Amino acid sequence: METEEAQQKTSKQVYFAILPDKYEPLIEDEGNQRTPEEKENIVEYYTSVKLKRLTARVCSARQNVKKACTFSWRCLVYGLQSLAGAFSTPLSAVVVVMEHQREAAHQA
């Protein structure tokens, strides 16, 4: 019996409440409302602040990318130089050259 009632389409019951006699609707204060000029000034201020923050983030990100690229480039050049040195020197001189490079790196 319950399943038949659940399957049938029925209207929902809506409950109404009567307002009390002393009900006072909320009225917004007109003194707190801003003029369109004030709203524009506020919008301009926040957009300028956001623009400054965004510019600072972009600047710092640019600096970080520059540092990473510079470091990667140095590593690549150093690797290519050592690779070229390894192929151009005879095998007996490789040990001497590598020791000399290590000494120069420690002194710097």
The overall pTM is greater than 0.85: no
pLDDT at position 17: 67
40 occurs within a structural domain:
no
Tokens found for residue 9: 């389409």
38 occurs within a structural domain:
no
Domain span at residue 66 reads: 49-108
pLDDT at position 77: 94
pLDDT at position 57: 94
Cα–Cα dist 29/67, whole Å: 56
Query: Mean pLDDT in runs of 10 for the chain (108 residues)?
Result: 64 73 69 78 87 93 96 94 79 64 69
Cα–Cα dist 70/64, whole Å: 10
15 occurs within a structural domain:
no
pLDDT at position 41: 85
16 occurs within a structural domain:
no
89 occurs within a structural domain:
yes
- Report the domain count for the chain: 1
10 occurs within a structural domain:
no
pLDDT at position 27: 72
